[in-house]
Amino acid sequence: MPNLVVSQIESFQWLVEKGLNEVFTEFASIGDYAGKKFELAFKSVKLEEPKCDEYYAKNNKLSYEAPLKAIVELKNKIRGGSKEQEIFLADFPMMTTHGTFIISGVERVIVPQLARSFGIFFTSEEIKGKIYFGGKIIPARGVWIEIETEADNVIYVRIDRKRKFVVTSLLRVLGADSDDAIRQLFAGNEPAKVFIEASFAKDHAKTPNESFVEIHKRLRDGEIGTVENAKEFVRGIFSTDRYDLSKVGRFKFNKRFGKPMEGKDTDRRTISLNDVATIINHIALLNITPGALEDDIDHLGSRRVRYVGEMFQQKVRVGLTQMKRNIQDRMSTIDPDVNQPLQFISPKPLQARIKEFFTTNPLSQFMDQGNILAEIEHLRTLSAYRRNKIPECSGRRKFQHCSRRHRSRPGR
């Protein structure tokens, strides 16, 4: 018989072998705000052997965990020179051989989450008796981009539900340097040309620089920005540091539009000019197709299962983000003669996020130990809980308040 909790175990193994290195790579280099005093780099990260075995931890009301340490290098740009130091970051809970965690002697399970998948979803709205289509680009990390069609055939964009702007401005800031370059993107697609020409007529911006300023004005209402400030702000939104479509999102995007499923195109996890042009082409096609339907977000094809490795990695990322902010604050105020990395790093935010994940997280639950079948059922249960939302499927045994398509268990 196959291992019935193999998905949980493999997910945590991925986190230990690849996921931790992946998230620390995102924070590989941290500099002060001005970039003139210090630079701190995480050279490597490692998990040492657990302090005790799982049985000893359970019997003595301890946590089954291993020390997480990192080799950190500090460069002093003012005085010159660099210093490496090994730093303890946190006690990292380890998974037992049967897919659970032991926290303070209590066995807990992280319930997998049935969540909305990343990628592109097409929506519709009735305006003046006619259906107009749009799309939502949902990333793993970063801003949501909503594209919508109005009754006058103009296509607008909203970023994080802020004030809308014309889609041609977005195309310019993503790399189309002229109106002719934008038109060339839709060569051979007559329906899309109609919507693009209508959008040109509504767009106040006529050049890339004007488009940067226009988008900055819509997203940062009340602020007066120069061209350089606007460029830095808008490019930052779509940078790899702040935007990640994820491997899943890129896979689903490429599969949806028949793009290559292998090669460099699958490694890119930001939104490109061609991606937006592809979406506009499809929206234009939906707008002129009688009986076209929007995507069903409740369909299981639009959902994915988030296992413990991915959810734990996200908590580590949040903790490191807070650590980075604290490090940069210290770099701005500390004496330039300091040359010890430990004096810049406080791992408390990371430790707090790890503790929060296992103690206050609704998906971290006491293990049902009534019998072996109850344990397996608990480990294979899916939850559709969403933070700050009414749970869609909150019960383990009763799947009320959720789509009829979700009334099942994995492998059943």
Q: What is the pLDDT of residues 229-273, one digit of tens each?
A: 999 999 999 988 889 998 888 988 988 888 876 766 677 889 999
Answer yes or no: pTM beyond 0.85.
no
Q: Identify the band that residue 312 occupies on the pLDDT scale cut at 50, 70 and 90.
A: very high
Share of the chain above pLDDT 70, in %: 92
Q: Identify the band that residue 394 occupies on the pLDDT scale cut at 50, 70 and 90.
A: very low
pLDDT above 90: residue 37: no
Give the orientation angle of helix 190-202 with respect to helix 273-288, to 10 degrees.
110
Q: Which residues contact 156 (CB under 8 A, 6 or more apart)?
A: 147, 148, 149, 150, 164, 165, 166, 167
What pLDDT does residue 387 have? 57
Mean pLDDT of 367-384: 77
pLDDT tens digits for 56-97?
Answer: 999 999 999 999 999 999 988 887 888 899 999 999 999 998
Mean pLDDT of 276-295: 92
Superfamily holding 119-300: RNA polymerase Rpb2, domain 2 (3.90.1110.10)
Residue 163 identity (one-letter amino acid): R
- Where in the chain do CATH 3.90.1110.10 domains reside? 119-300
What pLDDT does residue 391 have? 42
Is 134:142 a contact under the CB 8 Å cutoff?
A: no
Is 141:242 a contact under the CB 8 Å cutoff?
A: yes
321 CB-contact burial (10 Å; exposed 0-12 / middle 13-18 / buried 19+): middle
Q: Identify the band that residue 386 occupies on the pLDDT scale cut at 50, 70 and 90.
A: low
CA distance 209 to 95: 52
Mean pLDDT of 16-24: 93
CA distance 16 to 179: 49
- Where in the chain do CATH 3.90.1100.10 domains reside? 6-112+307-381
What is residue 360's DSSP assignment? T
What is residue 342's DSSP assignment? G
Mean pLDDT of 374-390: 69
Token representation of residue 39: 């630079």
pLDDT tens digits for 187-210?
Answer: 888 889 999 999 999 998 999 999
pLDDT above 50: residue 400: no
CA distance 276 to 103: 46
What pLDDT does residue 412 have? 43
What pLDDT does residue 389 have? 46
CA distance 184 to 51: 62
pLDDT above 80: residue 124: yes
**Nearest to 73, CA basis, from 114, 113, 30:** 30
pLDDT above 50: residue 393: no
Token representation of residue 33: 């705000």
pLDDT tens digits for 348-360?
Answer: 999 999 999 999 9
What pLDDT does residue 300 have? 81
pLDDT above 70: residue 363: yes
Q: Which CATH class is domain 6-112+307-381?
A: alpha beta
Q: Is the dihedral of CA 205, 206, 207, 208 positive or negative?
A: positive
CA distance 66 to 46: 10
Sheet holding 101-103, edge to edge: 101-103, 106-110, 364-366
CB atoms within 10 A of CB 279: 24
Is 45:21 a contact under the CB 8 Å cutoff?
A: yes
CA distance 112 to 305: 6
Is 243:270 a contact under the CB 8 Å cutoff?
A: yes
Question: What Å distances lie between residue 216 and 37, 225, 320, CA to CA?
Answer: 30, 7, 28
Q: Identify the band that residue 411 occupies on the pLDDT scale cut at 50, 70 and 90.
A: very low
